[in-house]
Amino acid sequence: MLVAAFVAWWYGGGWSLQMSEVAAQFRRTADFFSIGLLLKTLINPFKGISGEVPSQGPLGVMARAWFDRQLSRAIGAVIRLFTVLAGGLVILAVSLAGALRLIIWPLLPLLPPVLAVLWLIGWVPWRQI
């Protein structure tokens, strides 16, 4: 009876729990990198290095403020782009690890009997039979 309950939980509630944990890990990772928000603000100024932007005044001051904003946008775009790329790689790795976890989960109960049989026949991985 205990074995039947274990098998029922392992392939029912346990597997369902693993799926929800993998999905939660994916959501946490995606939320951490906020890729959608980074793409929306890709060319926004990075930091307010130019302070108050003069709407009128000497041409040199206005030109300097314009160049400051463009430089700030370029720096921000580069940093955001690298963050998006890193986030994409991490999300891909988390997805692959989660898929592997879900594939291995139903096979784990078979591992002890298989290893016991291999031990009984004297097989070891580093030695040919």
Whether 41 and 80 have beta carbons less than 8 Å apart is answered as: yes
pLDDT in tens, 59-117: 888 888 888 888 888 888 888 899 999 999 999 999 999 999 999 999 999 999 999 99
- The confidence score (pLDDT) of residue 42 equals 79
Q: pTM here?
A: 0.73
When pLDDT is averaged across residues 6-33 and rounded to a whole number, the result is 94
List of residues 6+ apart from 94 with CB closer than 8 A: 25, 26, 29
Instruction: Report the distance separating Cα 1 and Cα 110, nearest Å.
Output: 18
Residue predicted with more confidence, 43 or 22: 22
Handedness of CA 80, 100, 6, 111 (dihedral sign): negative
